[in-house]
C-alpha cells in the first residue's frame, strides 16, 4: 500500500526532446496526482510515445526534468523507476519462454516479489489456463494481458500504458478499463494512458491532456455522469417552440425550428421539463449538447496535418 500524499506522483517540468535540429517534444509541463487516471491524447506522430520513453528512462531528456515520487529520472533512475510499471508500445515478451517464465524474469528484477504475488497477478489478468504455454502461441490480446501483468507485478505507484487497448476485443477493452479505474480507486495507483482513441479516453480517464506536434495544447477534466456539477447546454424538442420560449422567459432561451436551447444543470432540466409539460407543451426529447471529447479534440487540433 502506498502512503497518501499531495505530491504529484509524476511531474513533467518543461520536458523537451530535440533530435538533431528538430524539436520533437516542446516544453511539456504537467502533473499527475495520486489515484488519477490521466489520458494522454494526440494524433499519430504527435510525440506520445517519445514522452513515455523519456518518462521511463529509455530516452534522455534534452531539457527539463521528470520527477517520479520525488526522484529525478535523469539522475536518480533506480529510485524513480521502481515506482513505475509500464508497457511501451506493444508488450514484447520473450517468445521462447512461457508466460510464467516471463513473469518470473521480471519478478527477479524487483526485491521481494513472492510466488504468491505472481499467481495473484496471473489470476487478475485471467491468464491462468495458458500461463505455462510459450508466449509465441499467444494471441495479441493475451500478450497484452501478459504485458499488464508484468507492469503491475511490483504494485507500482504509477502505471504507464502506451496504447493499451490496441489489439483487444471490445470485451477486453471494457475489462481493462474497469480494471484501471478500480486500480486507481482502490490502490490509489496513478495511471498514465496514451491513446489516439478519443471515445476510449472519455470513458477511462479523469483528465485528458491533448498534445500535438510535441506541444501541450490543452488539459481537460472529463465530466462524469452523476457527478456532473457544471451546467450544460440542453435542447428540448417541443411542438410549439415559441410558446415554450415564453413559458421559460425567465431563463435565457434560444428557439429555433422545433426546439429550445438553454443552459441548465441536471436538477434544472427536470424542473424545466415539468414546467413545459404543465403548460401544455409536448416534449418529444431532451438532449445534452455538450461536445464530446472527440469534437473538442478535433477542434483544438484543428484537423491539422501531421508535419
Residue with cell 504494485: 155
Q: Does 84 bind another protein (CB under 8 A)?
A: yes
Query: Taking the complex as a whole, how short is the minimal distance between the CB of residue 265 and another protein, in angstroms?
Result: 44
Stretch that binds another protein, among 104-112, 204-212, 233-241, 242-250 (CB under 8 A): 104-112
Residues 15-54: x where in contact with another protein by CB under 8 A, - otherwise, as a string = --------------------------------------x-
Residue 38 near residue 206, CB atoms below 8 Å: yes
**Cell numbers placing 11:** 511531474
State the virtual CA torsion across 236, 237, 242, 246 in degrees, nearest 10. -30
DSSP reduced 3-state for 65: strand
CB of 79 to another protein, least distance (A): 8
Read off φ and ψ for residue 134, nearest 5 degrees: -65, 145
The secondary structure element, H or E, covering residue 216 is: strand 215-221
Among 93, 193, 211, 244, binds another protein (CB under 8 A): 93
Helices (H), the chain: 48-55, 77-81, 99-107, 115-125, 140-152, 170-186, 198-204, 241-247, 266-278, 293-301
Burial pattern 191-223, b for ≥16 Cβ within 10 A else e, equals bbbbbbbbebbbbbbbbbbbbbbbebbeebeee
Which span sits near another protein by CB under 8 A: 90-98, 119-127, 185-193, 205-213? 90-98
Binding piece for another protein, criterion CB under 8 A, among 28-36, 100-108, 183-191, 234-242: 100-108
Question: Please, which residues have CB within 8 angstroms of residue 31's CB and are 6 or more apart in sequence?
Answer: 8, 10, 11, 12
Contacting another protein within 158-217 (CB under 8 A): none
Nearer to another protein, 89 or 294 (CB): 89
Taking residues 146 to 165 in sequence order and writing x for each that binds another protein by CB under 8 A, - otherwise, the string is ----x---------------
Residue 136 lies near another protein (rule: CB under 8 A): no
- The span of 33-41, 73-81, 199-207, 271-279 binding another protein (CB under 8 A) equals 73-81
Question: Site residues (CB under 8 A) for another protein?
Answer: 53, 56-60, 77-79, 81-82, 84, 86-97, 101, 104-106, 108-111, 150
Amino acid at each position: 500500500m502506498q502512503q497518501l500524499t499531495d505530491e504529484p506522483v509524476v511531474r513533467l517540468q518543461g520536458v523537451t526532446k530535440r533530435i538533431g535540429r528538430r524539436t520533437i517534444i516542446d516544453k511539456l509541463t504537467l502533473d499527475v496526482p495520486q489515484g488519477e487516471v490521466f489520458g494522454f491524447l494526440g494524433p499519430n506522430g504527435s510525440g506520445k510515445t517519445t514522452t513515455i520513453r523519456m518518462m521511463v528512462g529509455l530516452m534522455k531528456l534534452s531539457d527539463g526534468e521528470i520527477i517520479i515520487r520525488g526522484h529525478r529520472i535523469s539522475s536518480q533512475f533506480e529510485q524513480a523507476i521502481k515506482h513505475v510499471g509500464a508497457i511501451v508500445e506493444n508488450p514484447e515478451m520473450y517468445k521462447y519462454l512461457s508466460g510464467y517464465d516471463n513473469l518470473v524474469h521480471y519478478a527477479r528484477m524487483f526485491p521481494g516479489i513472492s510466488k504468491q504475488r505472481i499467481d495473484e497477478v496471473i489470476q487478475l489478468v485471467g491468464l491462468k489456463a495458458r500461463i505455462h504455454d510459450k508466449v509465441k502461441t499467444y494471441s495479441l490480446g493475451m500478450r497484452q494481458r501478459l504485458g499488464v501483468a508484468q507492469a503491475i507485478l511490483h504494485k507500482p505507484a504509477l502505471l504507464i500504458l502506451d496504447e493499451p487497448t490496441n489489439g483487444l476485443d471490445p470485451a477486453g477493452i471494457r475489462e481493462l478499463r474497469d480494471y484501471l479505474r478500480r486500480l486507481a480507486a482502490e490502490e490509489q495507483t496513478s495511471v498514465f494512458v496514451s491513446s489516439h482513441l478519443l471515445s476510449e479516453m472519455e470513458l477511462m480517464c479523469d483528465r485528458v491532456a491533448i498534445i500535438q506536434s510535441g506541444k501541450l495544447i490543452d488539459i481537460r477534466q472529463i465530466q462524469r455522469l452523476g457527478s456532473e456539477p457544471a451546467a450544460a447546454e440542453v435542447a428540448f424538442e417541443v411542438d410549439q417552440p415559441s410558446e415554450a420560449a415564453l413559458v421559460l422567459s425567465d431563463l435565457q432561451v434560444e428557439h429555433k425550428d422545433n426546439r429550445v436551447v438553454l443552459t441548465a444543470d441536471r436538477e434544472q432540466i427536470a424542473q424545466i421539463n415539468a414546467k413545459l409539460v404543465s403548460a401544455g407543451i409536448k416534449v418529444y426529447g431532451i438532449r445534452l449538447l455538450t461536445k464530446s471529447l472527440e469534437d473538442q479534440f478535433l477542434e483544438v487540433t484543428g484537423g491539422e496535418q501531421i508535419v
